[in-house]
Amino acid sequence: MQDINASIDVDKRLWAQDIAASKAHANMLEAAGLLSNEDARAILHGLDTIASEIAEGRFIFRKEHEDIHLNVETRLAELIGPAAGRLHTARSRNDQVATDFKLWVRDACDEIDRAFLDLQRAFLDQAEAHADTVMPGFTHLQTAQPVTFGHHCLAYVEMFARDRGRFCDARARLNVNPLGSAALAGTSFALNREMTTKALGFAEASRNSLDAVSDRDFALEFLGAAAIAGVHLSRFAEEIVVWCSAPFGFVRLTDAFSTGSSIMPQKRNPDAAELVRAKSGALFAASQRLLVVMKGLALAYAKDMQDDKATVFEAFDTLALMIAATAGMVRDLTPDAARMREAAEGGYSTATDLADWLVRAAGVPFREAHHIAGRAVKRAEALGLKLPDLPLGELQAIDARINGDVYSVLSVDASVRSRTSFGGTAPQNVLSQIQFWRGKLA
């Protein structure tokens, strides 16, 4: 029973939040006349002593005391005597743990936000260095149209901005103070809940005691945001794996973020990327795990909810590591501009530019222009030529409306320069978006 019931091995991580909430509660009890000045001073001094002991590694966590709350309370009694028992006036472990956990998740949202900010800046640095470095853009992992590596990097800046927004939204919704809800029904003591709300940095006090102690939406939202962020990190990791492979050779990682083979001396494996890709699964599983725990619980509190913290802590650690590793890889990688250009020039990536030219220069309806460009690609394939190298006579044999001006749009450089629509890949657009994001992230 002790082994399954105790959570101290997990929730000792809440010690700073538990002591902060206890200090806020003690100050409020004193202000409300529910705790003498002498007892309040003793409690606050005792809590500070415990905080020092834990921070310095001198505190002994005991499984027989179940959780962080009873471990702190028991040690407080050892330090100051019976006055320690007055601290639990007008509160329950139910509102206590909800408060502590919310404070921890709020801090976790802030830490993840800072980590993503650093990652965005790493991508911006690469984007600025390669605003005009041409590479193939893909759909279905098939060469589609030329883009710039800078534009590709900015796509991830956008993704991680949405991730930051989700954690920010989750933080705002969780910032409601449960302390004072007691076990489930509130309390008969005249509390000043606004005082603890302000002391702990919450935006407001909870309005329903049943919901306050049974709510774990904040943990579910954190895990949901983490799972989506894991998708984005895994997608980039997959690109690193593909780009580092010999058939692509688009980027190179140093030994700092790759490993060798135990038997093949020529190998440089992008293991950091592969592990980021793998670890995303843990984030998906964490979200599902807590959803399954919560789905069958009637109001208010049930011990099932004790399992929430291990799930969230593990997800936070995993996500933080994934972000750090990804930022490291982004800063470490070196694009091979020549190889990227070579790949972009293959696969007839400027076929759409030919169709667009027919629309602009010859007034051809796009669907017809699309068909003409397709015939040009087939002819180039038959002759073993790239599209810009297809002789004018061959193009005019396909459609007489084509003239020599068409070659001004068939190079990959001309293609990317032409994509000047808002959000497009043109180098001038990339530089403009970099400037926008630098200002926004500042």
DSSP 315-335: HHHHHHHHHHHHHHHHHH-EE
Whether 289 has a pLDDT exceeding 90, the answer reads: yes
Any idea what the Cα angle at residue 311 is, between residues 310 and 316, rounded to 5°? 95
Chain centroid to CA 379: how far? 47
Residue 347: is its pLDDT beyond 90? no
Q: What angle do CA 400, 401, 404 make, to 5 degrees?
A: 95
Of 1-5, 40-44, 231-235, 337-341, least confident by mean pLDDT is 1-5
Predicted confidence at residue 366, as pLDDT, reads 95
Q: Is the pLDDT reported for residue 381 higher than 80?
A: yes
Eight-class DSSP state of 347:
T
Average pLDDT over residues 239-254: 95
Could you count the other beta carbons within 10 Å of the beta carbon of residue 379? 17
Place of tokens 């939202």: 221
pLDDT of residue 422: 96
Burial of 348 (0-12, 13-18, 19+ CB in 10 A): buried
Name the residues annotated as catalytic. Answer: 140, 261
**Cβ-count burial 57-81 (b if 16+ within 10 Å, e if not):** eebebeeebbbbbebbbebbeebbe
Strand partners, 204: 176
Say how far apart CA 340 and CA 251 lie, in whole Å.
Answer: 9
Residue 9 corresponds to which tokens in the numbers above? Answer: 């091995």
Which pLDDT does position 258 carry in this prediction?
Answer: 85
The helix, strand and coil proportions of the chain, stated in percent and rounded to the nearest 5, come to: 70, 5, 25
One-letter amino acid at 429 equals N
259 pLDDT tier (thresholds 50, 70, 90): confident
Query: Tell me: the pLDDT tens digits for 153-196?
Result: 999 999 999 999 999 999 999 999 999 999 999 999 999 999 99
What pLDDT sits at residue 268?
Answer: 80
User: Average of pLDDT values for 326-344?
Assistant: 97
pLDDT given for residue 400 in this prediction: 94
Rounded mean pLDDT, 280-302: 96
99 vs 269, more confident? 99
The pLDDT tens digits of the residues spanning 197-206 come to: 999 999 999 9
Q: Is 186 helix (H, G, I), strand (E, B) or coil?
A: coil
> Where residue 262 falls among pLDDT bands split at 50, 70, 90?
low
- Residue 252, class by beta-carbon neighbours within 10 Å (0-12 exposed, 13-18 middle, 19+ buried)? middle
Residue 72 pLDDT > 90, yes or no? yes
Nearest 5 degrees, angle CA 390-CA 392-CA 397?
A: 100
Calculate what percentage of the chain has a pLDDT beyond 90: 95
Q: Which of 179, 187, 124 is nearest to 151 (CA)?
A: 124
Cβ atoms 87, 80 nearer than 8 A: no
Both tokens of 108, joined, read 């976790």
Mean pLDDT of 388-395: 94
Q: What is the mean pLDDT of the chain?
A: 96
CA dihedral 304, 307, 308, 313 (to 10 degrees): 180
- Per the CB < 8 A criterion, the answer to whether 251 and 237 are in contact is no
Q: Which long-range contacts (CB under 8 A, 24 or more apart) does 386-392 make?
A: 386/345, 386/346, 386/348, 387/348, 387/350, 387/351, 387/354, 388/350
User: Is it the case that residue 267 has pLDDT exceeding 70?
Assistant: no
Alpha carbon 86 to its chain centroid, in Å, reads 42
- Crossing angle, helix 308-332 and helix 271-294, to 10 degrees? 160
Q: First and final CA of the chain: distance in angstroms?
A: 52
The first and second tokens of residue 431, run together, are: 């530089």
User: 136: left (phi > 0), else alpha (psi -120 to 50), else beta?
Assistant: beta
Residue 383's CB is within 10 A of a number of other CB atoms, namely 12
pTM of the model: 0.93
How many C-beta atoms lie closer than 10 Å to residue 133's C-beta? Answer: 25
Task: Answer for the pair 322, 274: CB distance below 8 angstroms, yes or no.
Answer: no
pLDDT, tens digit, for every residue of 127-140? 999 999 999 999 99
Q: CA angle 230-236-239, nearest 5°? A: 140
Given a cut of 70, whether residue 226 has pLDDT beyond it is yes
